[in-house]
Chain A
Amino acid sequence: MQHLGYLFAAYSIIFAVIFLYVVFIWRRQAALDAELRTLEARMAALAERSAAGGPPEPRSEA
């Protein structure tokens, strides 16, 4: 069983990096969902104000 350590290291690193990349994708998805909720809230507020004829929403720099 010579070189077992190298074999273990190679396969461990491959799966660890793939796992980290999946976590990265999952976190990006969570950030995207949060951004979508913010956008939906802004659109709802805008629609509400426009229907009520109320004061305009403050301008955002974003």
Chain B
Amino acid sequence: MNNSAIRNWLGFSTLALMLASLFMVFDYVPPEADQGIAQLIFYFHVPLAWVAFASFGLVAIAGIFYLWLGDQLWDDLGYAAAETGMVFCTLMIVAGSIWAKPIWGTWWTWDSRLTMTFILWLMYGGYLMLRASADDTPAVARFGAVIGIVAALDVPLVIASVRLWRTIHPAVLVTKQGGHGLEDPRMVATLLMSLAAFTALWAWLLLLRFAQLRARSRMSRLASGVALAAAAASDTN
């Protein structure tokens, strides 16, 4: 199976999983008793967080390999992961904010987890601004790799913040009482389906962007070669 076939297969899988996930959210799972239907945002909010954190973890891994090996492939992978991660991180914050309004009575509060997530968003925003505004030189790629690695150190802090500091953000997956906070098995099944759907979506978008960035890098090298050949031809003549 070639890369294009894998991307197509992932695209169709994403569509099927997303439709199944929507069906389960709106027709299968019961809403939580206290929060009502606003709690259904949870089934997309958590998977968005998962794929955002997975992206930023991948940026850090790609950054380490780029600094170690200097291969352009790792820089392209890190850039693609940062971009997709930023899209999902933004959506996670927006979905969480919309969920917070009816439940907490406010769109935003400087709670420890929300603040750490906002810092994470700012750092990857900085990474993308650097990549968008500067030329694609090895120095910029190295600087980007360092930013990506440092920014990823915030991910464990975001995850652990509900345990480390006083926070109003719920620890749904592992509660302080030791349970997972989803007592109805249908809630667990729906969350797992949404996680699968968003993981497939993330993989699909990541592969699309990665393939584009790889092609752009190759074309950039080819364009340099053509310019050199044209210069050599003009010198000969």
- CB proximity of B188 to chain A, nearest CB, Å: 20
Q: Are A10 and B99 in contact (CB under 8 A)?
A: yes
The 0/1 profile, CB within 8 Å of A marked 1, for residues 79-98 of chain B is 00000000100110011001
- CB atoms of B101 and A6 under 8 A apart: yes
Chain A binder among B164-172, B178-186, B222-230: B222-230
Bound complex: CA A29 to CA B223 (Å):
17
Tell me the dominant secondary structure on chain B's binding face: helix
Contacts known (A28-B212, A39-B226, A43-B226); A57 close to B94, Cβ less than 8 A: no
Q: Which residues of B contact A17 (CB under 8 A)?
A: 87, 90-91, 94
Query: By CB atoms of chain A within 10 A, which of B41, B87, B98, B237 has the most?
Result: B98
| Structural contact, B95 and A50, CB atoms closer than 8 A | no
With A and B bound together, what is the CA distance between A6 and B103 in angstroms?
11
Instruction: Give chain A's interface secondary structure class.
Output: helix
Between A and B, how many residue pairs show CB distances below 8 Å? 93
Complex CA–CA separation, A9 to B44 (angstroms): 13
Most chain B CB within 10 A, of A2, A14, A57, A59, is at A14
A38 to chain B, nearest CB (A): 9
**Contact A36–B87 (Cβ < 8 Å):** no
Residue from A3, A28, A35 having most chain B Cβ neighbours under 10 A: A3
Q: How far is the CA of A6 from the CA of B38 in the complex (A)?
A: 7
Q: Is A46 an interface residue (CB 8 A)?
A: yes
Q: Hey, which chain A residues are within 8 Å of B231, CB to CB?
A: 59
Knowing that A1-B37, A6-B99, A11-B41 are A-B contacts, what are 5 other residue pairs whose CB atoms are under 8 Å apart, sorted by A's residue number?
Answer: A10-B45, A32-B216, A39-B222, A46-B226, A60-B230
**Which 8 pairs between the two chains have the least Cβ-Cβ distance?**
A56-B234, A3-B38, A10-B98, A3-B102, A10-B41, A56-B237, A10-B95, A56-B233
